[in-house]
């Protein structure tokens, strides 16, 4: 009888141990549940395993001299939190991320609330929820234009955190490889009016490879370039809360074959600012498609604050009447248009009912004398009529589907936006 009772006790203990182990094992394979958690600062190389979901817990940094390798098909899910508790992944100056996904096995960065599992491209429970975590931040040593020096603290990271510095003098700086990455449901706030972009590039150099990047349902901007020289292609932003593609601080790279698809609460498809300091350089946009949404209040594009660059082969459709490509009243935007430092070519627009391509409806110069916010309005008649200085046309009205410019949308067949049937895909 004693032996029988002892055996029962042993069996009960074994059952309790197994039950507790299963509860603590989030992978289901007997592994340490914290084995697949990213947290803190990585000062040496780390390679992730695509067979497991990785949790981004809090502020995660790849610091100078370290490389994080993320193989194709890896899913990373970030915990929630706001302010200093926000979760995001940041490649600091001198660090590298080698994130080389493929069209059939993209790297997916999303929220822990997303029920997506390894091997899947789409979860089943989230639609366009915004602000569930932070985002991806990449910081380099390439030139930026800011007042008071060659470096700055990136927005989205508290000023007390020195891992948020970006900018420098190395135009060919290399922050790694970013290819076939989908960033979903981010943009949480770290303070009043200070949200994190879906993907932020701050002072990133030409040694960095950026292509096939998707951002879906971010609270703030989709993808923003703060200075830097990096070239980027095949970018897609869908249903962001603020601007789709945002350029600041004399970003001087080229963005090609890219799309912005607005959502119901989106602002501008493009927001372009120029230098903030003495360093001046120009960006290039080539083959861009802008897609509006019913009821959206944001414009096609807003050119502000010394904007300088070339805008070529842009196709825009599905915008409600009343939206425009605008030369903002602030700081010499008109002067840069008249000098050719801000240029436009081959803009094709499906003009909404009630609007006109000419006369300041689709193209609207709102600048004022002296570049101030008061002063007498001095709109440029050429720009208002879709013409370059001197009268040659840079814009034309087209029927939907008959455009000859814009992005090749077929390259976005791998995206969540395509899987969910976003307009234009």
The predicted-structure confidence for 162-196, as pLDDT tens digits, reads as follows 899 999 999 999 999 999 999 999 999 876 667 89
| Domain assignment present for 389 | no
The pLDDT > 70 percentage for the chain reads: 90
Cα(83)–Cα(85) distance, rounded to whole angstroms? 5
- Whether the model pTM is above 0.85: yes
| Domain assignment present for 415 | yes
**Number of Cβ atoms within 10 Å of the Cβ of 345:** 16
The predicted-structure confidence for 320-337, as pLDDT tens digits, reads as follows 999 999 999 777 899 999
| Domain assignment present for 153 | yes
| Domain assignment present for 25 | no
Q: pLDDT at residue 393 above 60?
A: yes
| Domain assignment present for 243 | yes
| Domain assignment present for 363 | no
| Domain assignment present for 395 | no
pLDDT given at position 32: 63
Q: Which of 147-151, 249-253, 296-300, 367-371 has the lowest mean pLDDT?
A: 367-371
330 or 226: which leads in pLDDT: 226
Position 23 confidence tier, pLDDT thresholds 50, 70, 90:
very low
pLDDT given at position 369: 66
The predicted-structure confidence for 394-403, as pLDDT tens digits, reads as follows 999 999 999 9
Which range of residues forms the domain containing residue 109?
Answer: 36-318+400-419
Q: pLDDT at residue 20 above 50?
A: no
Looking at the structure of the chain, the number of domains it has is 1
The pLDDT > 90 percentage for the chain reads: 80
The predicted-structure confidence for 362-381, as pLDDT tens digits, reads as follows 999 998 766 666 677 788 99
pLDDT given at position 294: 87
pLDDT given at position 192: 62
């Amino acid at each position: 009888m004693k032996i029988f009772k002892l055996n029962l006790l042993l069996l009960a203990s074994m059952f309790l141990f197994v039950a507790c182990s299963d509860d603590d094992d989030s992978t289901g394979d007997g592994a340490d549940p914290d084995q697949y958690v990213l947290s803190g600062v990585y000062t040496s190389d780390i390679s992730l395993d695509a067979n497991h979901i990785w949790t981004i817990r809090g502020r995660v940094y790849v610091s100078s001299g370290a490389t994080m390798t993320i193989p194709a098909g890896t899913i990373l899910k970030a915990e929630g939190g706001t302010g200093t508790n926000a979760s995001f992944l940041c490649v600091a100056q001198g660090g590298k991320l080698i994130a080389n996904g493929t069209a059939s096995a993209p790297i997916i960065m999303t929220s822990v609330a997303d029920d997506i599992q390894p091997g899947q491209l789409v979860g089943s429970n989230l639609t366009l929820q915004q602000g569930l975590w932070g985002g991806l931040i990449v910081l380099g040593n390439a030139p930026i234009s800011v007042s008071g020096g060659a470096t700055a603290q990136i927005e989205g990271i508290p000023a007390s955190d020195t891992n948020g510095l970006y900018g420098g003098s190395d135009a060919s700086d290399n922050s790694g490889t970013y290819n076939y990455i989908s960033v979903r449901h981010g943009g949480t706030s770290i303070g009043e009016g200070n949200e994190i972009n879906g993907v932020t590039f701050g002072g990133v150099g030409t040694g960095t490879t950026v292509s096939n990047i998707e951002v879906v349902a971010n609270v703030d901007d989709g993808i923003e370039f703060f200075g830097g020289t990096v070239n980027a292609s095949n970018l897609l932003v869908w249903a962001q809360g603020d601007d789709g593609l945002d350029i600041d601080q004399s970003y001087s790279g080229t963005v090609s074959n890219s799309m912005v698809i607005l959502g119901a609460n989106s602002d501008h498809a493009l927001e372009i600012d120029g230098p903030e300091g003495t360093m001046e350089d120009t960006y290039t946009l080539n083959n861009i498609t802008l897609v509006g949404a019913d009821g959206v209040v944001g414009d096609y594009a807003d050119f502000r604050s010394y904007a300088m660059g070339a805008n070529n082969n842009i196709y825009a459709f599905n915008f409600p009447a009343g939206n425009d490509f605008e030369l903002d009243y602030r700081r010499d935007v008109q002067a840069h248009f008249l000098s050719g430092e801000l240029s436009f070519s081959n803009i094709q627009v499906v003009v909404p009912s009630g609007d006109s391509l000419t006369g300041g409806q689709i193209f609207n110069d709102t600048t004022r004398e002296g570049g101030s916010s008061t002063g007498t309005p001095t709109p440029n008649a050429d720009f208002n009529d879709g013409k370059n200085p001197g009268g040659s046309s840079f814009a034309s009205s087209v029927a939907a589907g008959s455009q000859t410019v814009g992005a090749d949308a077929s390259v976005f067949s791998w995206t969540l936006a395509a899987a969910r049937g976003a307009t234009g895909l």
